[in-house]
Structure formats: structure tokens, C-alpha cells
Amino acid sequence: MDKIEQSIIQSLELIKREQNEDPNENQLIEQEDDPDKLIKDLSELSQSKNVEFDFIKNKSFLDDIYFKNSRLFKIGSKDHSDFWSFLSRYQNLLKKKSSIAPKNTKQPDLNEFSAQLKLPLKYDKRWRLNFVYKPNKSEQTGTYDSSGNKIKFECDEQKLREFEFIIHLYLDFLQKEKYKKLKQLRQAQANLPIYKYQEVILKTVKENQVTIIAGDTGCGKFYNLFSTKSTQIPRYLLEAGFERIACTQPRRIACMSLAKRVSYETLNEFKSEVAYQVRFDKTRTKHTKILFLTEGVLLRQIQSDAQLAQYDIIVVDEVHERHVFTDFLLGILKCLIKQRQTLKVILMSATINIDLFSNYFDQCVIVKIPGRTYKIDVEYMPANKEKCDPKSKSSNKIDPAPYIRIMQQIDKKYPESERGDMLIFLSGMTDIQTILDAAKEYATECKRWIVLPLHSSLSIEDQDKVFDIPPEGVRKCILSTNIAETSVTIDGLRFIVDSGKVKEISYDPKYKMQRLQEFWISRASAEQRKGRAGRTGPGVCFRLYSQADYNSFNEFTTPEIRRVPLNSLLLQMISMGLRDVRKFPFVEPPDLQSIEHSLNYLKEQNALNEMEQLTPMGQMLAELPVDIQIGKMLIMASIFHVVEPIVTMAAALSVQSPFTSNLRCDYESMQKRKELISDHGDPLTLLNGYNEWIQVKAANDNSYKWCKRRCLEEQRFYEISKLKKQFFELLQENYLLRRKNDESDVSDSDSDESGRPRASSSYSEKVRKDLKRVMAKKERKRLLDLKKEISSKPKRPKVLNMEEIELDTTNLDESEKNCQDIRDIEFKLMHDLNELQNKSLSCKKFTLREVNLLKIILSCGLYPQIAIADEMNSYKRESDQKFNSKHKSFVVIHPTSVFSYDPDILQPCDEDGIVKDKLKFSTRHQLIAYVSLFETNKAYFMNCMRVPALQTLFLYARSLDTNGDCTRVLCDEWLEIRFLDSETGQKILSAVLYLRSSIEKLFKIRLEDRLNYGSKLEDGEEPEIKQDSVKFKERAKKLEKILKKKLSEFLDSSYMYSIRRVLPAEVNKMFMKNYQTESKSIDEAKIQPEFKKHLDSKENNQNEIKGGFKITSYLTYNCIIPDETLSIISEYSGIMKRHWKCTNCSKEFLFDLMERMQHQVECQETDQIDTSDIGDKISKSLDQNLYFCSICNKNLKLTAIEILKHKRSHLSSN
């Protein structure tokens, strides 16, 4: 008998008493403990009345009366269908017991109440119900037959009262189930080892400012399936009276899951006392008492609340993971507890370095909690005699034989009837694939194993297979990286095989490269792996190394702060007002060289000046909780109002690529994928793929199958969509992008081509929008109901099929189909699909000039991460194409890049090139910009994009060093560009001065506008719109429009030049300063007296390191030694005075080249954003050529159009 039948039987007496209103039928005996007798009596009553009424047959009528306008059981919902299933079983149970003979009973009077308190005088089971359901009976609309006549519904009041009581019975059943679960929960909590230490923990916290809680595996600090989530300590604190509690977690998903779990355990599921706050999402209200938040969110709160006055106690969880921001937060808290004596700090972890943290917090109190795990036998089975140096790397290919022997040993020693799966810890995907092939071969022979891989590169569906149940007599063998060490908890594990190896990402500041290296694990990690076998029963841990090797391991894992770049961390530290980041009290200070490299990187990105202070760009980057590269892209996109495509590409570059390796794709998939590939590079390909996926979604086609046919991971597109939405919200929160309902901003869609607002919408347009809004509301309601229905379906573990050992998700089962449906519904709830479709269509219509502008904006974030092709490249598919960056040589492009599919794209075009002095002069030289440099077995460039060499270098290089006539330009001291003549070099440098100065002006305007707008909104005021402000913004918009156009023209410009890589040994010999000190006598002998006098007069502007003259912060003129092949005149032609007219102030001067550049800079600095002729200035700088007019008998500097106009003027005069 199931729970529902038991509940029905226990409550039948109440139903009988409700029906027994006739005194003549009051013949029942009060025997409450015999449900069978009650059923007999009730059956007799039904037979005596000879009334047959079926509730199920009259379902539509009863729904119309009771549930039409009811919030309790919404018609069509799962709760509604569950109720009718309950009622059906109730009726079937009555019919089942109807043959039992009735007995006479006596019914007590239940309508007798006390006079004063109105309490019942006699006890009855009916009074156990702690609620009364009073249905809001609606007016019956009824049902009609085929002739249109209304079908009459006949039912006496007694049956309606019985139906109402059945509703009470069902609600009582649901509540009993909840109380039963709560009772089980409280019993489980009381059985945890940490429960005995509750009073000790609370007493220690109240008496001390800092407390360390070190809990072993299974102690209860990590409860239920929340292997990385604390649940008990926050609950204890809340029950003890603490109300302002912050509990940090290193992961977003942990915060959300913990808040949900603790809400359930504290009976606050429908309140806001327990909430979470992560980046872009929060449930916090003014009533919140426990807040789960990420460490990054708490650090950003410190910027506005330095004392953290909003919290009384801070719990730092998962301290043992030693993330970068965890160590920084601990340093902040160490300083803060000295200023706030009332602040309480709790550190929690499973495998914490107790002595280290206790000494760091001045010998703070430690509470140790023993764990509760089953017995685990450890067997050391060293595979070879390799010496286990903890810092050594292992380069030998893994041998699968020891792992197969363990599988055979398990098959012989343990019978098939004994359940227990095996988890093998391996270092990386290469080892997993090697063992996978051998283990599958053995599994095919013995038919007793199902082998499954587990690593982060697998799809979500393939990862979830490790949670499924194997058939009877079959075990799972899971091959995993260290992702299963803490992040994933798999039930049913009994055997652990520990290879003793792990691959960790380390950062090499010398080459600005991340390395994935293999190391021996720490003893703490070894114990954590062993503990996975003893969670549900006794287990065995096979260690493929000796006990002596185990003793030689490091005790704890190297903290992340010593393995990763510190760029974002240092930027945030400086933004918080720390004067010298080198002196910050870290738990374990990072290498000083790593700090210096990160500070130099921030200077390269223009986030810090030479005094290590924040620049305007740095101020904006510090407020954006994203990577510095992505932040610069978003800022530049908002300045030039090309947010949609840039945000999409930035989001795509921030997640794992949806394009799987071409090694995993068949020929048909590769052919279908070609339609998405852009020859410009990976960012544009990702943009194409996402836009096509949106179009498939908008057409209501099966997007999952569309992705599978192209070997794409649809989960990554969902991640891109979510991150893209978050980026938009981030730009709006930081006032870099105006919101849709902000009338002070005129978007592109609400303005005409001239930038003026369009006329107001007509009445029909307003009606159409209202109708669209109503339809969207209905669609959202439908999706919410559908999501609730799918989510409420019971999630039963899937039983793995021996015939489906290969990972294949083309045929979806019910659970996988539900997973796809849920993601699709959540996507549609979060986004306006029509809006996304329109935006994606607009991104597909980009011209080549617009694409070049997008590439320049992306390059702003990626620079200086560029590389030049090696001279020995063959550009053939079967050979690797090598590239050289400034710090790393002979790097190849990652196999997932589009350039690996078709290397011909990168081959230089020789059609318009010429060779002079062994140098290749062309107009089509190109570089590749890359997102990251990553080394595994090889060094790879990740997410690459083709960019024009000359334009990218001249726009973003931190240093441009020229010779005397500007025919040679050294960019960032590693790439040299040469021009065929000095005139070309001077024109381009002049245009670059205008462009970079104008970009800087526009950036300052946008920054000032953002600060003013944001401060007004934060104060609750409406931004003022003054006449001067309007003119200011109009000029800014005009400047932006001109810059867009001129940047595109600059990218389209064609000049013959050569480019080559300069080795570090050659760089030091190229500068004039070294040339003058080493060969001063020769130098003075060459220089004529008037030239020497001219150089001395400029001595105060000289660059002390390189020589030459510093024109701007990035341009140094005449600091490169002249070529020995050039004549004395050509060497110093740059300092010969010539007549020149400034295009900015329209004045004529007799200047040499250096004076001309200096005047351009000074003239632009005094210019008050006059955009009336800035486009002409840049155009003239780029396109003016020397033209001799035979009629005027003059040499003129005109553009091509001006030459035609000049000739036409002579024709018209004639």
C-alpha cells in the first residue's frame, strides 16, 4: 500500500461524517483505529442512498466551479493534474473496498463548541487539519453539446461538500509529505559530526574575532550533494542571533545553490532572509540576513564601503583552494579587523594549512571537526621507479597496463552482485584518451565495464553520463581529470585509482604565456582523492606510486597567486587606493618579478601611467569586472557606438569555443561548417556562427540538431547569450550605454541619417506596439508554465546501455530532451528573440570597411598581442605555420582556429610587391592578433585574427621611433617598417598624429559625459540638458562620425612598405644614443656645423635613453641611426627647413620635420574640439601629393580630387 492510499484510509472517517447528515443514518460506531470498518460503513451509506456519482466523469464541471479562477490548482498545471490523479485513486480505493459488510456506528456531534473560546467540545481527526480551503466558486459557464444546448450539471450539495473535503484531504497529504521531509532533514542534520560541535563553534565565534574551522571530509560542513558548499555553519549563526552574515564562495553556481539549500533548511524558501549576490545577478533585499556572494563581489563592495559596515560576520569558505582573490580578500580582512573590533571572521576549509593561516591571523583559534567516512584501504602499486620530484615534469607517455590490471583484479576479487564503480584520476585529455582506448577494449571482451571520460572539454550531455546508473552486474569506469576531486560528486564510487599526476596552468611572465604542465600532486590532493571512495561505503584506493613517493610530495598545492598573471588583481588594488602594491600583506606573497610584469602590462594597456597611477582608461577598466582585454573592447565599442557586434565577439572570446576540433568532425560536418567561416579570423567566425544560430532559433527550427550537424557545442551559444546580456547590463550600470527607456539618449534606431530624432510614432504604430507587448506577455506566461511543467517532472537516473559505450547524443532520450527544452525555454525567457534576430541580420550586412573598423576596435583590446609570420613558412595544410611574437618565437596556430582549416588565407600576396635591398615592399602586409598564448605539447596562439600591419602598429604602438627622414620606423622596439621615400613616411605619421589625438579627445569627452551623467542619476536627479551641453554632445557625435570614417579610410589606404622582425640583440645598436657614445668622433665628423648647431638647440627635448627628440609620449623622432648606404644629405634631410602650411591653424611656417611634428601636437592640444574640418585635415595628411602645374608653373601639394578640381578650374577659365 503506497503513501496516497494510506493517507486516504486514515481520513475516510472524516469523509463519512461529512456525508452522514441524516439522523436516521447515524448508525456508525466510533472505532477510529480500524480503517477497514470505516470503508465498509461508507460503502453501505452509498448503497443505501443508491446514488452513483463519478467525479472524474464530471471533471470539466468541477473545474469550472472550483478551479477556474483559483490560484491553488491552476487548470492545466501539474498540480491540477496531480490532484485529479489523487482523486482517481481515491475513487478506485472506495470501489475496491465496497464489498465489505457494513457495521452500525454512532456519530458524535461535531458542531458543539465552547461558549467563550469557540473550541470543539469533542476531539475528532478532522481538527488535525491546520487550514481550511474555502474555494472561490465561480459562476458556472457549463458545457455545450453538438447542438449548442447547455448540458445541465446535476449534483447535490452533499457531493460538492465531499469534493471540497477531498481537496482538503489532498492538501493535508501534501503537507504531511513536507513535514515528513523536514523531519528527515532534522534527523540527518543531527546525525552529522558537526552537530555535536555546534555549541563549541558558536562560543568560539562569540569570544574571538577570527576563527578557523577545519573540517575533515564528511564532517557535515559540506552537506548532502553540495560537495563544495557550506550549509550548516551559516544556519548555526542565524539561529544564534547573527543577522548580517556574508558567506563568500569562489564560484557563482556555489552561491546560488547554497542560498537555495540554506533557505530550505531554515524554512525560508519563499522569503528573502537567505539570498545570493553574484556578478550580474542578485536576490538580496533589505530583509536579507545571510548573503552568499563571490569574493569578487565582496571586494567591489569594499571600494564603496571600506569598513564593510553592512556585515557583522564574514565567512570565507573554500580557503584551501587559494584563489587569487581569496588571498587578496584575506589580506584586506587582516587589515580590517584591526580597525573594526566588532567584526567577526570565520575561515572554513576541508584540507586547510592550519599553521599557515593561524600564524597569519596572529595565532587565532582553531576548531577541528572529525570527518565521517567509511574505511578506505590504500594499496600502493608503483607503476615504475620514476623519481617523484614535486617540481619535475613527466614527459613519458602513460602506460595503460597498470590500469587494466586493476580492472582485472577487481573482477576477480569482487563478485558482480557487489555494487561499486571506479574513478581513475589522470593528468589530462591525452592520458585519458590513451587509457580510454585500452579500457574499452578490455570492457568489450569481459562485458562487465562501461568506460566513460570526464573532462571540461566534453559537452554537457557527455559529462552528465557519469551520473547515470550502469546495468546490473556492470560497473562504471570513469576516467577524469582533477575536476572530480572537488567540483563533482559522483555517487556509487568504491574504487579510486590515483595516478599521482595533475596538469596545472602556470604563467610565464618572460614569454607572457600560460603553460599547462604536468606535476606531481600534493599530499592534501592525494587525501582528497582517496576520500572520494568512502562517502557511501567502504572503499579501496589504488595509488600508482610508492609510499616513499607520497611522503616526498608537497604538503599543499601551490597557491594560484604564484601561478597566474596578476593584471586584474593589481588594477583593482590600485583602484582601491593602495599606493604600493608590492608591500601588500599577502598570505604568501607572489614573486616580485610577476608583479613587475603585470604593472608593465597595465602600462602597455594604457591603464596606468609611468607613475603607476590610474589613467582615465584605467579608471573605467577598474569598474568593469571583466578581463582587461574584454574591458577595452567594450569601452571602445561604446565610444564608437558599435556595441552589438563587439559585445557578441567579446562574449564569444570569453567562453570556450563552440567550434570543436576538426579532428572530431567528419567531412560532411566540415563542409557545412564552411559557410560560417570568415577569412578575417576566429572572432568574426564566432560572430557568424552565433548569428546563424539565432536565425535558426527565430525560425523555430531544431537548433540542437543544427549544431550537431556542424560539430558545434550549443551549450556554448547559450553561454555566449547569457554573457552578452550581462555585458550590456554592465555597460548600462557604468553609464557607458544608455538604457532603452532613457529619453536623454537618442539611439541610432530613433534618429535619421543626420542624427536628428525622427517624428513621433502614429496612433497605429502605438497600437501595434501595445499589441506586441500583450502578445509577448502571453508568450512569456506560456513559457513559464511550460518550464514549471518540465522542471517538475521526476528526474530519474538513466540506466546506461552496454551497446552505447561510445558517446553519442544524436538520439536524445527523454531526460536529455527535457534538458534541451529547459535551456531553450530559459533562453527565450531571458531574451527578446525578435530583437536578437534583427540585430543578427544587421551584423550580416557589414561592408569590408565596417569589418575593418571592428577589427581595429578588437585590436585595441588585443594589442600588443600580435605576431608576424615566420619567413620560412610554406603555407601548406600538412605543415605547421609558425609565427613569432615579441617574446616567443616559432608558435603555431591552434587546430580549432579557422586559419588551420585554410592556411592559404595567411599567405602574403606577391602581385603588387617589389623587392629592394632584399626587403619585400608591398601594400598587403599583415599580422595576426591573438587572444592568448598557451603551451601544452606545443605553443599555440588561441583565437587569432588577421590585421593590417602598418595601421595596427601605428595606431596602438606604445613607441614609434623614426630616423631623420622618416623612412624607417621602429614599432615597440621589435618590428621595423620601411618606406620607399620620406614623403610617404611623413604623410602617414602626420595622419597618425591627428587620428590618435582625435581618439584621445573623443575618449575624454565620453568619459566626462559618463561621469556627469552617472553622478546625476546616482543622486536621483535628472541629467540637465543645457544648450552648451547639447552643442558639446553634437560636436562629440560629429567627431565620432568623422573618426569612424577616417579610421576606415586609414585602414583602406595603400602604401608600399616593408616589415621585418628586429631581434633584441639588434635593437640596442639601432638607437642614436648608443651610436653617438660609441662613435662620437665619427658622428661629429659627418655632421656639418649648421646641422650640429641645430641639434644642440634641441638638446632639452632629447630622449635620454634612445637619443633623438620626443615629439609625443609615443613618437620619438630621429633616434634611429642612419643607414650607411645613404648619403650625408639624405641622412639629415629630415632637419632641413621647408615651407609648410598647417592644416589645423592654416598658417604657413618654415619648419624642419621635427618642428612640424611638434607644431601639430601643440596645435591640436589647444584646439577646442572644432570638428568642422578635422576630416579634411586627416585626409590631406594621408592623400596629399606633390603636383607640378605647368599652367601655374608651381609645385602644389594636393589630394587626387583637388588635382582634378585644379585642372577643371583652368579649363573653365579658358
Amino acid making up residue 334: K
Burial level of 796, CB count in 10 A (0-12/13-18/19+)? exposed
As to burial, measured by CB atoms within 10 angstroms (0-12 exposed, 13-18 middle, 19+ buried), residue 493 is buried
A 10 A CB-CB count for 905 gives 16
* Between 528 and 1188, the higher pLDDT residue: 528
Share of the chain above pLDDT 70, in %: 72
Residue 931: C-alpha distances to residues 10, 41, 638, 858, 943 (Å) = 68, 80, 21, 10, 6
Identify whether the C-beta of residue 1043 lies closer than 8 Å to the C-beta of residue 765: no
Return the pLDDT at 651: 93
**Which CATH class for the 376-558 domain?**
alpha beta
Q: What are phi and psi of 728, to 5 degrees?
A: -60, -45
Predicted confidence at residue 322, as pLDDT, reads: 85
Residues in the chain: 1214
Amino acid type, 875: Y
| Helix 1027-1052, helix 949-956: angle, nearest 10 | 140
Q: Tell me the per-residue pLDDT of 664-692, one tens digit each, with 9 for 90 and over.
A: 677 788 888 888 889 899 999 999 999 99
Burial 1168-1204 (b: 16+ CB within 10 A, else e): eeebeebbebbbbbbbbeebeeeeeeeeeebbeebee
Confidence of residue 256 (pLDDT cuts 50, 70, 90): confident
Compare 824 and 630 and report the one with higher pLDDT: 630
The whole-chain average pLDDT of the chain stands at 77
| 1030: exposed, middle or buried (Cβ count in 10 Å: 0-12, 13-18, 19+) | exposed
Q: In this model, does residue 850 exceed pLDDT 50?
A: yes
- Residue 299 CA to residue 324 CA, distance in Å, equals 12
- When pLDDT is cut at 50, 70 and 90, the band that residue 52 belongs to is low
| pLDDT band for position 313 (cuts 50, 70, 90) | very high
Using DSSP's 3-state secondary structure scheme, residue 1025 falls into coil
The predicted structure's pLDDT at residue 388:
46
More confident call, 335 vs 1020:
335
Determine contact, residues 652/683, Cβ cutoff 8 Å.
Answer: yes
Q: What is the mean pLDDT of residues 522-550?
A: 88
Closest CA to 478 of 421, 541, 408: 421
Are the CB atoms for 1023 and 1067 separated by under 8 Å? no
What pLDDT band is residue 1019 in, cutting at 50, 70 and 90? very low
Confidence band of 806 (pLDDT split at 50, 70, 90):
very low
pLDDT digits (tens, 9 = 90+) for 488-503: 678 888 999 999 999 8
Question: Predicted confidence band at 462 (pLDDT cuts at 50, 70, 90)?
Answer: confident
Q: Please answer whether residues 670 and 661 qualify as being in contact, where contact means their C-beta atoms are separated by less than 8 angstroms.
A: no
Residue 801 has pLDDT above 70, yes or no: yes
- C-alpha 928/C-alpha 933 separation (Å) is 12
Looking at residue 131, its pLDDT comes to 61
Please tell me the predicted confidence (pLDDT) of residue 819: 55
> What is residue 961's predicted lDDT score, i.e. its pLDDT?
93
- Report which of residues 971 and 5 the model is more confident about: 971
User: What is the arithmetic mean of pLDDT over 631-653?
Assistant: 91
The answer to whether domain 192-369 and domain 376-558 are alike in fold is: yes
* Domain spanning 192-369, CATH architecture: 3-Layer(aba) Sandwich (3.40)
Parallel, antiparallel, or unpaired: how do β-strands 1138-1141 and 1148-1151 relate? Answer: antiparallel
CA pair distance 37, 1136, nearest whole angstrom: 120
CA 1182 – CA 427 distance, rounded (Å): 56
What confidence score (pLDDT) does residue 179 get? 80
CB-based burial label for 98 (10 Å; 0-12, 13-18, 19+): middle
DSSP state of 557: P
Average pLDDT, integer, range 1108-1132: 70
- Which triple of cell numbers denotes residue 11? 481520513
What sections of 1019-1142 are H helices per DSSP?
A: 1027-1052, 1064-1067, 1072-1078, 1080-1086, 1089-1097, 1128-1131
Highest mean pLDDT among 66-70, 698-702, 1089-1093: 698-702
Query: In this model, does residue 1149 exceed pLDDT 80?
Result: no
Q: What is the pLDDT of residues 143-194, one digit of tens each?
A: 555 555 555 556 667 777 778 778 878 887 887 777 887 788 888 888 888 8
d(CA 455, CA 481): 6
Q: Give the separation between CA 326 and CA 10, rounded to whole angstroms.
A: 55
Structure confidence by residue, pLDDT tens digits, 383-440: 765 444 444 444 467 889 999 999 999 999 998 888 889 999 998 888 998 999 999 9
Backbone angles phi, psi at 153, to 5 degrees: -105, 115
Mean pLDDT of 773-786: 81
Which is more confidently placed, 542 or 772? 542
pLDDT at 107 over 50: no
| 505-532: average pLDDT | 87
* Angstrom distance (rounded) from CA 5 to CA 8: 5
Mean pLDDT of 245-251: 89
Beta bridge partners of 214: 349, 368
- Coil, helix or strand for 663? helix
DSSP state of 59: H
The 10s digit of each residue's pLDDT in 568-579 is 999 989 988 888
> Residues 383, 544: contact at Cβ < 8 Å?
yes
Q: Where are the domains of the chain?
A: 3-179, 192-369, 376-558, 624-738+782-803+814-862, 985-1183
Contact status, residue 424 vs residue 436, Cβ threshold 8 Å: no
